[in-house]
Chain A
Amino acid sequence: MIYWTRAMPDLDQTPVLSVRDLNVRFGRNSIPAVCNVSFDVGRERIGIVGESGSGKSTTGRAIMRLLPQRAGVTAERMDFLGSPLLEKTERQMGGLRGKDIALIMQDPRYSLNPVLTIGKQVAEAAKLHLGVGGKDAVARARDMLARVRINDPDRVLSLYPHQISGGMGQRVMIAMMLLARPKLVIADEPTSALDVSVRKDVLMLLDELVRENNSGLILISHDIRMVAAFCERILVMYNGRVVETLSRLEDAAHPYTRGLIAAMPDPKHPVRRLKVLDRKSIEVETNP
């Protein structure tokens, strides 16, 4: 727990990540998967929402430079703490990933190694990114598991991923990813594989740790209400473009955003039929 108290609030207000005109094109496909996306992330929480295929995950992966070779990623600017990400070598990126930029993925069952114990995997993160060895790494792993409110970290350290529940698995992932106190955390649908009852806990925990580290968070999700509850700013993506940037859901002006909100059943305002998206009018609005 000692190294947590050492954390001094970083008062630096320059953006952690600054993206201008990001384009991603797969192969020789004429339609870009991500088209002219620009945004800045400071020490804040921003959300990216959209349907499947809108390019929200691709944007996240493009920042991590995790897209396959055939994906052409171009950007006028994609700076992480002032240095351009696209000019870095694979080796330099390897040093950044996990240490300064962390990615939390949807399903802990697929992102944890099934044949290694939780302890080994979390300690490995400590060894790699903090440069501590053996026992020290395990001790840090244990502290970190306690931080994500796992009751008996010693027992969990010796378990394999299939022996823990989805909610606990996602906590382990958060522990592993935030151990090195990254400056930017990209959470790609971190709760969509989880039950509603644990979803809130996991989000609260993520929020609390990110605030404590004073880092930036990009929350990628299809659930616009959840994102609105957690983020200061929301980017709404449709067909690879950012159609709107909002700070409150009530300000939504774009037909797509309004459509998304209206499509969600709301128990407080029951309707007989849910509104469905009118894709033709959205098309007209986005490509005038």
Chain B
Amino acid sequence: MIKVENLDVVYGSKDKSNHVVRGVSFAVSRGETLGIVGESGCGKSTVLRSLAGLEGAWTGSISFDGKPVGKVRTRDELKLAQMVFQDPYGSLHPRHRIGTALAEPIRSMGAGDGWTRVAEALQQVGLPAHFASRFPHELSGGQRQRVAIARALILSPPILLLDEPTSALDVSIQAEVLNLLADQREERNLTFILVSHDLSVISHMCDRVLVMQNGVFVDELTRQDLQAGVTHASYSRELFEASFL
């Protein structure tokens, strides 16, 4: 479903350049959930942003569903992958009502004004339809993250890119959001890439995990590895031990 080869991201130029992602390659099959873990600054979010088309400075090749995509995406390419961001407070426009925020992707894709699908989208993520007339500040953090997920799903993309979707939430709310994501994955046969620094969230959600350090993948763990606590690199061992006190 997703194929990435030799993805390189460099910020700045010449002597001031910062090589953030160093030639990573990976593939994700349809319906699979891939996790990427690593500490802040290792380049995991940059990989995700390149996939979403938010990053302009990448080289290499990215293809969705067998078709290579460029730096500037067409509408059809954008419809393939949607992103959910970390901070539900920052990712919703504070002065747009929830309905406006949810109809926005449909409007910008030129598929009508989208209002007719708002109620349905809200119900799918377990929120009442009358929330459409509310503003983001009238919602709790968990409810806002649900809206962000509804907004990402409203174009029915086959791929969902999740950048730390629950790290701003309480554990009890995190469980609700993770369950919602798992349900949607089952219902729509979605392909996920989940970026997080929380190994317990990753191992709950993912079939396969890539451990990232300084812009490269240093380890790959399967679900069985995670359950048994098996690691193949010293860095992932360290990360593992730090996560489970």
- Write the residues of chain B forming the contact surface with A, with a CB cutoff of 8 angstroms: 39-40, 141, 170-176, 178-179, 182, 197-201, 203-205, 223, 226-227, 229, 238-239, 241-245
Tell me whether A196 and B172 are in contact (CB under 8 A): no
Tell me whether B171 and A222 are in contact (CB under 8 A): yes
Q: How many residue pairs, one in A and one in B, have C-beta atoms under 8 Å apart?
A: 83
Find the residue from B141, B170, B199, B238 having the highest chain A CB count within 10 A: B170
A 222-266 binary contact with B (CB < 8 Å = 1; else 0): 111110011000000000000000000000000000011001111
Say if the beta carbon of A268 comes within 8 Å of chain B.
yes
Closest 5 CB pairs of A and B: A265-B204, A267-B203, A263-B175, A274-B175, A229-B245
Tell me whether B40 and A200 are in contact (CB under 8 A): no
Q: Which B residues touch A195, using CB under 8 A? A: 39-40, 197
The answer for the CA separation of A195 and B201 in the assembled complex, in Å, is 14
Say if the beta carbon of A61 comes within 8 Å of chain B.
no
Tell me whether A276 and B203 are in contact (CB under 8 A): no
Residue of A nearest to B40 (CB): A195
Q: Which A residues touch B229, using CB under 8 A? A: 267-268
Tell me whether B227 and A263 are in contact (CB under 8 A): no
Say if the beta carbon of A52 comes within 8 Å of chain B.
yes
Say if the beta carbon of A155 comes within 8 Å of chain B.
no
Question: With A225-B245, A273-B179, A276-B179 given, is the CB distance from A196 to B226 under 8 Å?
Answer: no
The answer for the CA separation of A276 and B166 in the assembled complex, in Å, is 14
The answer for the CA separation of A225 and B172 in the assembled complex, in Å, is 13
Say if the beta carbon of A76 comes within 8 Å of chain B.
no
Tell me whether A196 and B197 are in contact (CB under 8 A): yes
Q: Could you say which of B172, B199, B242 contacts A263, with CB atoms under 8 Å apart? A: B172
Say if the beta carbon of A277 comes within 8 Å of chain B.
yes
Tell me whether B227 and A265 are in contact (CB under 8 A): no
Tell me whether B200 and A264 are in contact (CB under 8 A): yes
Beyond A265-B203, A270-B203: 8 further Cβ-contacts under 8 Å?
A198-B39, A224-B171, A265-B178, A267-B229, A268-B227, A273-B179, A274-B175, A277-B172
The answer for the CA separation of A212 and B5 in the assembled complex, in Å, is 52
The answer for the CA separation of A271 and B226 in the assembled complex, in Å, is 14
